[in-house]
């Protein structure tokens, strides 16, 4: 969690960077209410924050940035809001992908695509194909995604391979599971940021965040820009990551 001191930490050129940053973009509706605007306007304002954070992540040299855009639970929201989110998603696929391509950014979309319209699915496929060979930032958008769905699907696929005689059950280990998960080709999440003051991960990348550093900020998503992203990176740089080891072991490794 953030602390008063962490909000002003400088980000030096040699500070350790997370290879993979995941963000739970929360607070669009609360931002809209605070500004006496509709919830839809809040989501549109959130798009500007997305642009700013993508730009800053690319500038800082972050390898993978995963944004939680729409969870599998978000279908429970009012129908008008869900429809507006789908329209916004489609608009972003139409308008933003060319810009991503121009900046050498590779786009991947993870989640249960069958829940989207055929039009959205086609634009997702086209966007991924256009940017597939780019070598800059890997931008991942999690849409109609849930961590439990991800793990369950991976387990089912492994079971199907066992039934087909392609895989011996004794060979199922963490590595085998990861190959069937979304983001199996990406490094594990090093830093997870959640905006708006909520302190939970909400069924997001449950497997991939096993050792992630968690950073919770009260800033509402539309107000979260490049400077706020740098503050999160600076906070990450000041943490000691032990991965089960003692402080002394970690310090000895760094000596």
- Active-site positions read 26, 74
d(CA 3, CA 217): 9
Taking phi first (over 0 means left), then psi (-120 to 50 degrees means alpha), and beta for anything else, what does residue 90 get? alpha
d(CA 40, CA 77): 13
**The dihedral sign for the CA sequence 137, 192, 2, 73:** positive
SS3 at position 231: helix
DSSP 145: E
How far is CA 172 from each of CA 53, 161, 168, 179, 208, rounded to the nearest angstrom?
A: 37, 11, 7, 11, 17
Helix (H) or strand (E) holding 191: strand 191-194
DSSP 8: G
d(CA 253, CA 255): 6
d(CA 31, CA 93): 24
Q: Are 194 and 217 in contact (CB under 8 A)?
A: yes
């Amino acid at each position: 969690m953030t602390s008063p001191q962490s909000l002003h930490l400088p980000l030096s050129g040699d500070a350790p960077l997370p290879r993979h940053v995941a963000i739970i973009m929360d607070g669009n509706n609360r931002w809209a209410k605070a500004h006496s605007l509709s919830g839809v306007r809040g989501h549109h304002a959130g798009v500007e924050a997305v642009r700013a954070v993508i730009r800053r992540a690319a500038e800082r040299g972050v390898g993978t940035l995963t944004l939680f855009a729409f969870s599998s639970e978000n279908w429970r929201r009012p129908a008008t809001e869900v429809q507006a989110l789908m329209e916004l998603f489609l608009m972003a696929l139409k308008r933003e992908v060319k810009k991503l391509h121009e900046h050498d950014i590779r786009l991947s979309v993870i989640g249960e695509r069958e829940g989207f319209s055929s039009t959205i699915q086609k634009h997702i496929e086209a966007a991924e194909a256009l940017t597939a060979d780019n070598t800059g930032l890997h931008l991942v958008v999690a849409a109609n995604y849930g961590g439990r769905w991800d793990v369950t699907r991976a387990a089912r696929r492994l079971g199907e391979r066992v039934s087909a005689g392609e895989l011996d059950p004794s060979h199922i280990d963490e590595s085998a599971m990861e190959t069937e998960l979304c983001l199996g080709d990406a490094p594990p999440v090093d830093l997870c940021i959640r905006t708006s003051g909520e302190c939970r991960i909400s069924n997001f990348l449950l497997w991939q965040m096993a050792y992630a550093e968690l950073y919770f900020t009260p800033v509402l998503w539309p107000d979260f820009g490049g400077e706020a992203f740098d503050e999160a990176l600076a906070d990450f740089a000041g943490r000691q990551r032990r991965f089960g080891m003692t402080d002394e072991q970690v310090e000895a490794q760094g000596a």
